[in-house]
A and B are shown apart, each in its own frame.
Chain A
């Protein structure tokens, strides 16, 4: 990579462009992840065949390495900007009110003010999630594939796990609510007619993604209870 490009991506604007690109990359992953996980609804055969096909493809290692790099870039860049922002205002205000109280032009929300918290929680969640599933108990199905269906059923039969996932998804929802719309702005995608639609589309996607992952553990829990 030319050093000039690295320099450009280190500036405040370049960093935000990189955060937006990596964030959108992670959102694309979430779309594919949700699409795959919905197959759980179709029973053990379908779900296990899907996961087996996915994981037995050697390209999955390349994809995983790519995801790791994207994730780390997203985390490191945001942390650098977060600490930079602390330095940019060493002395805060005694009285502080959102300017949104003065004009509705502000897009500030609970989601936008808690990005660092919801982001760090997502990091914690990810470690737990990988430990539970990817590196979790290895069950083998009758057909010789990894029985992830059984693992999911077993894990989400514990109400504690279901509650943890639901809280995590609520926080990830907040992260996506601001992040998906903010990414468009960082990348310079803005148009008087299109911006309101992009904002709406980002929020719908946030609801669909977080909502989907919110309902799956609940569905699994109810399914485990019923059987």
Chain B
């Protein structure tokens, strides 16, 4: 059954413009619509009326690309655990609800327009060390590099990070420790990541600080909103790696 909802959406014309919350009424919202499809319908309406549509990011719409990311009623990626914004469906809301929609907030994530933010700070953290310098070649023969199953499982759990930035958005300090630590961990656990292991963690932490993210309070709000449910154990590992690397004089 179609619902009518009130949306309270952050509208901001450009990076240096002041923004504000604007109310819209969303008619004919079907419970089976995804959250972004609902916004598409609202935007169709706005375009027909000659208004500026609400700008928001999205790409794959199947929870894997990390493009979408909205703070819905005060929670990054909305009410469903282990899900991105595009995986939230309107059946999670009731007719007559008011939904507050805001962009991810952090100094390091400047708003470009409405709900679209610039997340390139995360790319620069990766560029500072989140890679393996040598060309690892094609897929190696199975078992030519023995990696214990539980280690490869841990590395793959960390490698699930899609870089959406929800961890930053939900952290009271706007810290990027979960993102950075996931990247540090997945390479630190695998043989290909060993040669640059110490240098990587130091450089990535330095870049993270330079971008203006905050520090970690170990609350785990990041883990609670992470669409890939990446654990803050990664942050403990990053701290351990950092401590070892700096004590070794890296």
Binding site for B on A (CB under 8 A): 4-5, 8, 11-17, 81, 84-85, 87-108, 112-113, 115, 178, 181-182, 184-190, 192, 195
- Cβ–Cβ contact A112 & B219, under 8 A: yes
In the assembled complex, the Cα of A105 lies from the Cα of B82 at a distance in Å of 11
Binding site for A on B (CB under 8 A): 8, 10, 21, 71, 73-76, 79-82, 100, 102, 105-108, 170, 172-175, 177, 202, 205-206, 208-209, 212-225, 229, 231-233, 235-243, 246, 249
| Contact partners of B79 in chain A: CB under 8 A | 102
Would A12 and B237 be within 8 Å (CB), given that A85-B172, A91-B105, A106-B221 are in contact? no
Would A108 and B221 be within 8 Å (CB), given that A88-B108, A88-B174, A97-B73 are in contact? yes
In the assembled complex, the Cα of A15 lies from the Cα of B215 at a distance in Å of 8
| Contact partners of A96 in chain B: CB under 8 A | 74
Would A113 and B221 be within 8 Å (CB), given that A5-B246, A12-B216, A88-B213 are in contact? no
11 further A-B pairs in the complex, CB-CB below 8 A; given A88-B106, A103-B223: A11-B242, A12-B214, A81-B214, A88-B214, A89-B214, A96-B74, A108-B224, A112-B218, A113-B172, A115-B217, A185-B235
| Contact partners of B100 in chain A: CB under 8 A | 94-95
A to B CB contacts below 8 Å, 24 in the list: A5-B246, A12-B214, A13-B216, A13-B238, A16-B215, A85-B173, A88-B175, A89-B105, A89-B173, A89-B174, A93-B71, A94-B100, A95-B102, A100-B224, A105-B81, A106-B219, A107-B219, A112-B219, A115-B217, A186-B216, A186-B239, A189-B236, A190-B240, A192-B233
Chain B interface, >50% SS class:
mixed
In the assembled complex, the Cα of A107 lies from the Cα of B208 at a distance in Å of 23
Q: Which partner residue on chain B sits nearest A182 by CB separation?
A: B218
Q: Which of A8, A12, A87, A94 contacts B246 (CB 8 A)?
A: A8
- Cβ–Cβ contact B173 & A88, under 8 A: yes
In the assembled complex, the Cα of A98 lies from the Cα of B246 at a distance in Å of 34
| Contact partners of B236 in chain A: CB under 8 A | 184-185, 188-190
- Cβ–Cβ contact A85 & B220, under 8 A: no
In the assembled complex, the Cα of A118 lies from the Cα of B223 at a distance in Å of 25
Would A103 and B81 be within 8 Å (CB), given that A88-B173, A113-B172, A190-B237 are in contact? yes
